[in-house]
Chains A and B, each alone.
Chain A
Amino acid sequence: MFYTVSDLIKQSQDYSSVAELMIVTEMENTSRTREQIFALMERNLEAMEGSVKEGIAGVKSVTGLTGGDAKKMDEYIAKGDFLSGQPILEAARNAVAVNEVNAKMGLICATPTAGSAGVLAGVLMAVRDRLDMSHEDQVNFLFTAGAFGLAIANNSSIAGAEGGCQAEVGSASAMAAASLVIAKGGTTEQAGYAIAMTLQNLMGLICDPVAGLVEIPCVKRNALGSSQAMISADMALAGVKNVIPVDEVVETMHRVGQQLPSMFKETAEGGLAVSPTALRLKKEIFGDDKK
């Protein structure tokens, strides 16, 4: 088992790929066979595909606070007249779609959490045809992301209640960036730089859910996570390095997470959650707080 991102990069040299190292590690840690492990991951991929498709078609959340934005973005992209590029817009659209489905109690695959589930699925569905990825390539994309995600999770956190949004969307974005680099033919070192750049850019992002719900700002934060993942991957592939080593950045995110006041860690007691509009919405949805 690997512990840090550097361990992972080093150990993966003895295997054909990061995904292969992850599968072998999983076989060692559980009593599952390669076929069982692969089938489990295929099921995750299937859920991701389903949620992207469902969200783009247009959904509305249980509370009515979110939904329909992925559909708008899809129509905007279809017109072909936009500022940024098509792949990055599609990634953001997909990411929004997944989290809109999440908010309406639809089926999603948590990566690493439900609140950040759009990021990885979003980028994968945006690049898979462009990179001519086979079904197996796509499943391996998830094993690669999971491997880098484990190294982040074990040295920091992936829960908003522990580390803020940087731990959820930040971690999701970082592992997506790393997997994108590998899928595009980059090196594991470049994947490490992509993680470092991503976490560095999302450092300090607070978790401030309006009315305590996984809707505002969570849905749009997934657009941020997916687009940053694409930019970080492209920068790393361009040869851009990061001065602060990746494991020090992960460690820093952990430290910052601990230092964040609890009002910024999923308690809905700070940030956007206490804006006048948020407080009004909370009252409308839940009624007065009878204490």
Chain B
Amino acid sequence: MGDLRFNSVFDIIGPVMVGPSSSHTAGAARIGKVVHDIFGEKPEKITVDLYESFAKTYRGHGTDVAIVAGLLGMTPDDPRLADSLKIAYEDGIKVAFVPKSDKVDHPNTTKITMIKGDHKLTVTGISIGGGNIQISEINGFKISLSMGTPTYITVHQDVAGMITKVTQAFTKRNINIGTMTVTRESKGEKAIMIIEVDDKQDQKEILEELRSLKYMDNVTFFE
């Protein structure tokens, strides 16, 4: 029964997480972690825009603390989560929170910008409940990335032939690409590919192969 909303016993028992809210804390940390993984290096500056319910209740739910914890690479069950702001400060990372009054599609929305030198990444994430999240925008491009589908995200230099080299890694393993989005900051600068595939097999080998490509900065896998 693939159409059931809940398929796993761990949808009911779990996740192990730092409280108080599965949507406002665990989900927020998960969004941060995704952004951390895509960015691939320690940022100098982080700006977190918060919308609607996130903007109104972020302090009480620790949404701010949770997002930064994720941005530092922590998962929702990391016991250091509550100290994330202090850890970021001690690490010399500048963090700014900006509650926004703009209307957005989902009540639990955050737009995160990470900067290190010329490397800049902007990601919009939403927390849809029970700790589950979606990524709706990367560097200004609308996407729909739901955790649950095997997805590869590459950050690479915008040079000719990258798409072929990356897709070959899937073709030769007979893995079908469901959707694919390619965006870039500007011509010749950093580019991003978001590739949703039908099968998570050979994940380790594919990651190794993609990471070894010339002009490739970072590759991450989510499911």
Residues of chain A within 8 A (CB-CB) of B10 are 26, 40-41, 44, 146
Task: State whether B12 touches A150 (Cβ < 8 A).
Answer: yes
* A183 vs B86: C-alpha distance when bound (angstroms): 45
B56 within 8 A of A: yes
Residues of chain B within 8 A (CB-CB) of A108 are 16-19
Task: Please report the total number of A residues contacting B with Cβ < 8 Å.
Answer: 56
CB-CB under 8 A for A104 and B12, given A114-B25, A286-B59: no
Task: State whether A107 touches B56 (Cβ < 8 A).
Answer: no
Residues of chain A within 8 A (CB-CB) of B129 are 159, 161-162
Minimum C-beta distance from B77 to chain A (A): 6
Task: State whether A214 touches B19 (Cβ < 8 A).
Answer: yes
B173 within 8 A of A: no
A114 touches which of B5, B6, B17, B59 (Cβ 8 Å): B17
B11 touches which of A40, A62, A145, A150 (Cβ 8 Å): A150
Task: Please report the total number of B residues contacting A with Cβ < 8 Å.
Answer: 39
Task: State whether A106 touches B19 (Cβ < 8 A).
Answer: yes
Residues of chain B within 8 A (CB-CB) of A105 are 18-20, 25, 62, 65, 81-82
Q: Digitize B65-77: 1 where CB-to-A-CB distance is under 8 Å, 0 elsewhere.
A: 1000000000001
Task: State whether A109 touches B13 (Cβ < 8 A).
Answer: yes
Minimum C-beta distance from B184 to chain A (A): 35
A143 touches which of B4, B9, B11, B22 (Cβ 8 Å): B9
Task: State whether A213 touches B20 (Cβ < 8 A).
Answer: yes
In the complex, what residue of chain A is closest to B58 when comparing beta carbons?
A: A286
Minimum C-beta distance from B175 to chain A (A): 15
Residues of chain B within 8 A (CB-CB) of A212 are 53, 56-57, 60-61
CB-CB under 8 A for A213 and B9, given A105-B18, A109-B15, A159-B129: no
A142 within 8 A of B: yes
In the complex, what residue of chain B is closest to A29 when comparing beta carbons?
A: B7
* A104 vs B16: C-alpha distance when bound (angstroms): 15
Interfacial residues of chain A within 138-179, with CB under 8 A of chain B in the complex: 142-143, 145-147, 149-150, 153-154, 158-159, 161-162, 175
Residues of chain A within 8 A (CB-CB) of B1 are 1, 3
Task: State whether A1 touches B9 (Cβ < 8 A).
Answer: no
A154 touches which of B6, B20, B62 (Cβ 8 Å): B6
Interfacial residues of chain B within 95-146, with CB under 8 A of chain A in the complex: 101, 129-131
Most buried by A among B15, B19, B53: B19
Residues of chain B within 8 A (CB-CB) of A197 are none
A228 within 8 A of B: no
Task: State whether A111 touches B12 (Cβ < 8 A).
Answer: yes
* A63 vs B8: C-alpha distance when bound (angstroms): 34
* A175 vs B12: C-alpha distance when bound (angstroms): 10
B residues whose Cβ falls under 8 Å from a Cβ of A: 1, 4-23, 25-26, 53, 56-57, 59-62, 65, 77, 79, 81-82, 101, 129-131
CB pairs A–B below 8 angstroms (5 shown): A30-B8, A61-B20, A114-B17, A212-B56, A214-B21
A residues whose Cβ falls under 8 Å from a Cβ of B: 1, 3, 22, 25-26, 29-30, 37, 40-41, 43-44, 47, 61-63, 101-115, 117, 120, 142-143, 145-147, 149-150, 153-154, 158-159, 161-162, 175, 211-215, 285-286, 289, 291
- List 12 additional contacts besides A107-B18, A159-B130; criterion CB under 8 Å: A1-B1, A41-B10, A63-B60, A105-B18, A109-B16, A110-B14, A110-B15, A146-B13, A154-B5, A212-B56, A214-B21, A286-B59
